A = this chain, B = another copy of it.
Amino acid sequence: MTGTPLLDDRARLRADPLAFGVGARVTVAVMADRYADVILGAVRGADATGLVLDTGDVSTYAGGSEADLLRWLTDLSAAVAASGEHAAIAVHLSRGCPGEAVCELPGGAGPRSTDVPAGRETGTFASAEWALYPLADQVTAGVEPDHMRDIHAAIDFARGNGTFRKSEHFVTRLEGDLGRVLETVLAGWTMVGRSVQHVTSHLTISVNSPSHRGARP
């Protein structure tokens, strides 16, 4: 697709998560000899309803709606944590640009407004580092971006659900219930996405770290 989509096309692109490029890439690294069993068990047990999955040697791609992604990511991460093994989980979220180096929605589908998906408690403590990137930050489909307003709203959300800890070099540190940490990140991503078409976010989660012994969500 090249040029500026017609209005009908824009609305269609925004309404269809796969056409709009809504998805995640996830790398689960379990620090134990039995890593393959833990990862395969977690992937098999996670509810992937509504998602397209594609597993590679570096990450698993999941495409679909924000709410389906949050449910799946929470299931997957909670199952890894329930193994008791120390693990690092890297999550890369993207919406508004199905391609990579060259955006395939060049004319501007406009921002996709969705409800902030609701997360769930997992009972497991997690610490995490979070980066949120508003990209292609121009007026698209008549919507003026205001990403600083939206990023501050995302940080307010993190303060509200108790996961915000502090700012560090290049990232925001989140801590708390694993499910609430994921909820915060999906919320920030969708909130910034209300005025910016292309938004990505990167999260690195640590569970069952020797540094966390005794920590409770």
Cross-chain contact of A29 among B31, B102, B135 (Cβ < 8 A): B31
**Which 3 A-B residue pairings sit nearest by Cβ, starting from the closest?**
A29-B29, A31-B35, A29-B88
Is A122 on the interface with B (CB-CB < 8 A)? no
The copy count of this chain in the complex is 2
Closest to A29 in B: B29
Tell me whether A170 and B88 are in contact (CB under 8 A): no
Query: Does A185 reach chain B (CB closer than 8 Å)?
Result: no
Asked whether, in the complex, the Cβ of B58 is within 8 Å of the Cβ of A129, the reply is yes
Known: A35-B31, A90-B90. A169 touches B129 (CB 8 A): no
Find chain B residues with CB under 8 A from A129 CB: 25, 58-59
Nearest CB of B to A57, in Å: 4
Residues of A in contact, count (CB < 8 Å): 57
Task: Tell me which residues across on chain B come within 8 A of A88, comparing CB atoms.
Answer: 27, 29, 58, 88, 90
Given contacts A25-B204, A29-B31, A100-B172, 15 further A-B contacts (CB under 8 A): A21-B169, A29-B87, A35-B86, A57-B212, A58-B128, A61-B169, A61-B170, A88-B88, A92-B202, A101-B152, A101-B167, A102-B148, A102-B151, A131-B202, A135-B135
